[in-house]
Every structure is written in C-alpha cells, then in structure tokens.
Structure 1
C-alpha cells in the first residue's frame, strides 16, 4: 500500500475520532445544563417519582439513614430528568456524528431521527413509570403476605427507579438503531427476517435482565420491544425500496 493511501486512512481515522470527541463533549455540556435546570424543580419531581411506591409505604414516604442520602438522591433524579429533557439535543449530536456515513438523500431525515429518538426514549421511560414499575411493586411489595412492612430507603428506591427508567428508555431505542443500521447498509430486511428468532431471543434476554424477577414484568417488556423490532424491519424495507428505485432511475439516466 502506498504512503499516500496510509496517510489518507490515518487522517480519516483522526477526523472520525476528533468528531467523536466533539460529540461527547457537547453531549456532556448539554446534560450538565439540563441537569442544573431539573435540579431547580427536584422537589416537585421527587413527589412525582415517589408516587408508584407510595401506596406500599407505611408512612407514605421513604427513609434515609445518612445526612447526604436525600441530597444525592435529588442529584441522581435531576440527572435522569436531565437526560430526558435534553434528549433532542444530544440525539442531534449523535446524528451529526453518523450523518457523514449516509447518502445525501438520507441526511434529510435529521428531524425525523431526533423526534423519533426522543419519542421512543420518553415512551420507554413512561412505559416504565406507568406500567412496569406499578406491576413490579405490586408483586414485590405484596410477596410473602402482609405481616412484614417495607422500609425502603431513598437511595435504594432511586437506584431501582433510575435504572428501570433509563433501561426502558434505551431499550425502546432499538427500532431507531436498526433503521439507522439499515440506512447505512449494515443490515438488510432479509437479514433481519432471517435472524428474527435470534433477535427475539436477544430481546427476551434483555427483558429478563432489566425487569424485576417475575414473568409478567418480563412479558410486558418483551411484547413492546418485539412490536418495535417488527416495525423497524418494515421501515428498513421501505428505505431499501426507495434506494433501489433511486438507483434504477440513475441507471436509466
């Protein structure tokens, strides 16, 4: 391989790493600003977050044993809400990083990528809050009878709550990731259909890991992810058809 080709590849790699660095730095600043905004409303947000478990607490509130526990819990909550609030902005940074690998006609889907990514992430968090968490607490807080009374600490609850919301939010981004991979030519509709069983097994494994240890919660996680996967397969096929039609038109010209 000639020296000029090696220098060109090294320069291309350096440019990609530089773009990735800029993307990560911008995302960090966006999250910090959004976290600071959410911290100003952390008291009201915490009341909202406490609601799924409140019916199962003897006094209606959580407990804490360390002087910093409540403060740290509010910081964690502000960070998670900051991720949700700033979702369109850091998704735009991600799009700017992957857009150079797409065709010129596919780069026009910037707003679609941002809105769909934001909607899916928020939908996953909302699914966790209104469906998965109430079902989990119904199982966990009533398991073994009503003689024993729960005393849940703020730290334990916030760790459980934030993990569930973030995991569900990220999991619901699955169709967007598949569609982008399809737009980049990495996966095809035929490939996805051929490996559907492996995809479902992977989804089931993810659902078993991120949900509480009961079958109903796992099924409630698996069902929407399966539906989203099938929707992504259809969308990938639509983009492939458009690409083939555009290629055929160029060939005739």
Structure 2
C-alpha cells in the first residue's frame, strides 16, 4: 500500500462513517413515526378530504395499499425531518477541504437551503393544495363520483411537494452562480424578462393543469430569483469592500 493511498482510504472511511450516521438518523426518526403512519397519511390527505363532496371518501384499489402507502409516506417524512442531520454530516465531510471564506459562505447557505426547502413544502401544502383541490373538485361533472386512490394521491402530492421545495432553492442557485463567477447580478437583472417567462413555463410543467397552481409556483420562483439577485449583490459589494481594504493595507 503506497503512501498516496492512505489519505484516500481515510477519506473513504470517514465518508462511510458519516453516511452511516445519516442513515441511522433517518432510521431512528422512522421508528419513532411508524406507529403514527396512518395519522400521518390522514394529515397529508386532509387538503383533499376537506374538498370532497359529502359522502365521498378516498379508496384503495390495491390490496396492500392500506399498509404500504402510509409506510412509504413515513419513510419520506423521516428523510425530510432528518435533512438537517444529513446536511450536517455532509458539511463535516467537505468543510476541511474549504478555505476560510468559503466556509463563511457555505454555512449560511446550508441553513438557508434547509429553511427554503421546508418553506416550499409548507407553501405547497397550506396554500397551493387547498386552492388546487377546490378547483379540481368543483369542475368535476355532476355524474362523476370523486373517489381518489390513496396511492395515486400520495404519488401526486409527493411530486408537487418536492417540486415546490426544489423551486424554493432558487436563491441558493443564484448566489452560487454569482459567487462562482458564472454570471453576475447585473447580468441576471438584464435577463429578468426571460426569467419570468421561464418561471411560468416551469410552473406549467411541474404543477397540475390549472392556472391557479401554475401561478402559485411561478410567482414565488420569480420573487425568490429577485431575492437571490439581491443577496448576490450584497455579497459582491461586501467582497469588493474587503478587497479594497486589503489593497489599502498592502499599499
């Protein structure tokens, strides 16, 4: 075994250790929640159930669906709640390889990314779902009985929640692009009309085919883009001031 292979093996051992800690965190949260699996599904189904006509209920078209669907939801919830632990382990692995100024920027970005992801999920659940499901149930023909399958509903909800959580990460993406030098706040401001059009196109592709859901995703994406540009501008200005101070000290 050569000397050059020792650091690599050490990094791999540390990576395995941190991955195991992240998996253990997810498993512990899952075991704490699995007893409440049916309650979790009832909670996530509430936005649709509240809009169903009187006497209508959700159904299970698969024999094993009443067991596996809440079980699947519990796993997803456990992964979402364990995200801070997972990101902490990821940060502990990559932090030693970063410069001091990179660490100062990375920590706020990690915290903000978690909060924005949770914020996107909360926005979709408490704002988008009630409006979207109210629209869907109101346009159903009179001779159609609305009885949604629990597995189909969960797949639909998880896709929308993930789409909104990911869309709310736009400020992080904008900041990283500006910090890495790929673009600049001034260049992004010039491209604002294209960004607005792209936000509505993405909203059309990621949401159900109704104007309400599309707009409720497109508008936050645009506002979050503006937030990312603003924060990038502040960071660039602060970095320029620091560079000027360092130049003055050297001179």
Q: Structure 2: 5+ residue runs without aligned partners?
A: none
CA distance change for structure 1 residues 209 and 100 in 2, over 3 Å: closer, same or farther?
farther
What's the offset of the Cα at 1:46?
1.5
What's the offset of the Cα at 1:150?
0.7
What's the offset of the Cα at 1:112?
2.4
Alignment-derived partner of residue 11 in structure 1: none
**SS of the residue aligned with 1:185?**
coil
Question: In 1, Cα distance between the equivalents of 2:207 and 2:137?
Answer: 15
Alignment-derived partner of residue 170 in structure 2: 174
Question: In 2, Cα distance between the equivalents of 1:192 and 1:100?
Answer: 32
Question: In 2, Cα distance between the equivalents of 1:147 and 1:242?
Answer: 63
Moved more, 214-223 or 141-150: 141-150
Alignment-derived partner of residue 75 in structure 1: 71
CA distance change for structure 1 residues 82 and 155 in 2, over 3 Å: closer, same or farther?
same
Give me the CA root mean square deviation.
3.1
Instruction: Report matched runs for 1:38-187 at 5 Å.
Output: 38-55=33-50, 56=52, 58-59=54-55, 61-95=57-91, 103-187=99-183
Tell me the TM-score normalized by structure 2: 0.82
Moved more, 120-129 or 228-237: 120-129
What's the offset of the Cα at 1:214?
0.8
Structure 1 position 221 matched with structure 2 position 217 = yes
**SS of the residue aligned with 2:209?**
coil
Question: In 1, Cα distance between the equivalents of 2:160 and 2:237?
Answer: 37
**SS of the residue aligned with 1:186?**
coil
**2:56–2:147 contact (8 Å) kept in structure 1:** no
Question: In 2, Cα distance between the equivalents of 1:43 and 1:90?
Answer: 26
What's the offset of the Cα at 1:30?
4.4
Question: In 2, Cα distance between the equivalents of 1:69 and 1:187?
Answer: 48
CA deviations over 1:158-213 (Å, ceiling 9, x no partner): 11111111111111111122223333333321232232233223322221111110
Moved more, 104-113 or 208-217: 104-113
**SS of the residue aligned with 2:121?**
helix
Question: In 1, Cα distance between the equivalents of 2:103 and 2:226?
Answer: 24
CA deviations over 1:33-60 (Å, ceiling 9, x no partner): 4444332322221121111011315545
**2:199–2:219 contact (8 Å) kept in structure 1:** no
CA distance change for structure 1 residues 182 and 93 in 2, over 3 Å: closer, same or farther?
farther
Instruction: Report matched runs for 1:181-196 at 5 Å.
Output: 181-196=177-192
**SS of the residue aligned with 1:41?**
helix
**1:189–1:237 contact (8 Å) kept in structure 2:** yes
Tell me the TM-score normalized by structure 1: 0.81
CA distance change for structure 1 residues 213 and 182 in 2, over 3 Å: closer, same or farther?
same
CA distance change for structure 1 residues 42 and 164 in 2, over 3 Å: closer, same or farther?
same
